[in-house]
Amino acid sequence: MEILAFGVQADEKPLIERGFAGHHEVRCVDVFLNEDTAPIAAGYEAVSTSVNAVLDRHVLNILADGGTRMIAQRSTGFNNIDLTEAERLGMTVARVSYYSPYAVAEFAWTLALAVNRRVVRSAIRSREFDFRLDGLMGRDMHGRTAGVLGTGKIGEAFSRIAHGFGMRLLGWDIAENPACMELGMKYVPKEQLLAESDLVTLHVPLMPETTHLIDADALKAMKDDAILVNSSRGALIDTAALVVELREGRFRGVALDVYEAEAGLFHVDRSLETVEDDTLARLVTFPHVLVTSHQAYYTEDAVGQIVDATVRNILDYKAGRRSENVLVPRT
């Protein structure tokens, strides 16, 4: 069976081709799956997609009409897939339920430290041989408070690093993680966490209940000099409300690896185009805001694990097996 893999990055392609070798043929394309590109999947029983793919009712019907019966998404998140319609069409859908939590946790810390120590501004100055220190003063993380919203595997990994810095740990989740409690984490209501934390980081999945988890009220509850980091899902933050707070001069720094309207923008080159998203355009103008292109997961280790899981998902589909990765089972 030949698989069509959508949205494959140049660095990712050799890992995918190596992972599928000896199992199935794979054709990699760099375009993302959407209404315009779905017709090229005609004749492919299985397709592999990225988190930026559009898999709504219309796209799923195009795929089904072309003979696609299995969708293997190369991500943990699946809010971009209409699972109800996939089930109605008799399509199998699987995701990657686990990959290296260290990739995301380490990148979240990279973002936090970059905005705290003004690394981007300093690097830009140095390229112009401007070596002044004005405006570059940071502060120690040691002794300050890290608030971790979501203390699963990634939140736990982030907390271990915070513990290494000597930080006080506050946590919020539907269930307490004993490993985090061993680090000295205290679980508190969200409002208390936001009010007391010098650094707030998000590591929760995107669901209806967590959409705009950080809304206007939550942002106002945070310290004026807090650092906010989101390396999870863009829609966890009400970005329009965030811009309002930033315009009022609040927060020491904001670092976003994700954006709620990133579909069609992230992972592609828009440098020669006019970006019509006024919120994003305004967001990147703030000197204490850092936006990256949904790359927290993007390490050799994590991508390798994602590819291995995707291959297993397709092998399981062919063999009629079901694993914890299956969102819609084969009928």
Q: Enumerate the active-site residues.
A: 233, 262, 294
Q: What is the DSSP string of 36-98?
A: TTGGGGTT-SEEEE-TT--B-HHHHHHHHHTT--EEEESSS--TTB-HHHHHHTT-EEE----
Is 63 within 8 Å of 53 (Cβ atoms)? Answer: no
Tokens of 208: 């209806």
Distance of CA 239 to the CA centre of its chain: 15
Tokens of 258: 């994700």
Q: Which of 121, 109, 119 is nearest to 286 (CA)?
A: 121
Tell me the sheet residues that pair with 201. Answer: 148, 229
Helix (H) or strand (E) holding 148: strand 145-149
Burial of 155: CB neighbours in 10 Å, binned 0-12, 13-18, 19+: buried
Report d(CA 225, CA 238) in Å as an integer. Answer: 19
Q: If DSSP codes are grouped into helix, strand and coil, which group holds residue 181?
A: helix
Q: Which of 35, 49, 87, 92 is nearest to 68 (CA)?
A: 92
Q: What is the DSSP string of 229-275?
A: EE-S-GGGB-HHHHHHHHHTT--SEEEES--TT-TTTTTS--TTS--
Is 108 within 8 Å of 296 (Cβ atoms)? Answer: yes
